Amino acid sequence: MTEPVTPTPAAAAGSVLREMRWWDIDAVLGLEKELFPEDAWSRGMFWSELAHSRGPGATRRYVVAENGEQLVGYAGLASAGDLADVQTIAVARDHWGTGLGGRLLTELLQAATDFECAEVMLECRVDNVRAQKLYERYGFEAIGFRRGYYQPGNVDALVMRLTTAPDSGYAAGADSVQGTETNG
């Protein structure tokens, strides 16, 4: 997965999506700290993720959204075998409701397909209803909780899963996730 994202207009946002590179990290960190002040990722976490995003053995896909010169969103996905995990999605507040979150998620789901993943997992703060509704629109289902997942605020995570249909070329996934309380 070394090919760059073809710049594509984001729905109603006038933004283009492209592969995240190391020189984007400062702008990404600015948005990260604005949107997730209590549990923002560190510079090292982004560097580590990007280190696995290029070359023949790539297991990550990270993209940014730009509106002119301004970074207005980013997203990342990790894959292992037939399982993908949405690591992060962020959209600048002044771009909420424009469809940009959906464009970023669509890019990650395409990456999961490219990685030949049968399932896509994610964790979402239980108090982030806006994000939960986005994921539900794309077919994700809540399957459990991870208590105290987001630190230092000790906020629970809702675990969500999207399983591709067996006739889509992928096998259906397992019904449980280690470390997750089943939502029965």
pTM above 0.95, yes or no: no
- Specify if 86 maps to a domain: yes
Which CATH number goes with the domain that contains 66?
3.40.630.30
pLDDT tens digit at each of 184 positions of the chain = 444 444 444 434 489 999 999 999 999 999 999 999 888 999 999 999 999 999 889 999 999 999 999 999 999 999 999 999 999 999 999 999 999 999 999 999 999 999 999 999 999 999 999 999 999 999 999 999 999 998 888 899 999 999 975 544 333 333 333 344 444 4
How many domains does the structure of the chain reveal? Answer: 1
For residues 173 and 103, give the distance between their C-alpha atoms in angstroms, rounded to a whole number.
Answer: 25
- Specify if 8 maps to a domain: no
Q: Which domain holds residue 130?
A: 16-182
- Specify if 107 maps to a domain: yes
- Specify if 7 maps to a domain: no
Instruction: Classify each residue of 42-51 as buried b or exposed e, where b means 16 or more C-beta atoms within 10 Å of its C-beta.
Output: eeeebeebbe
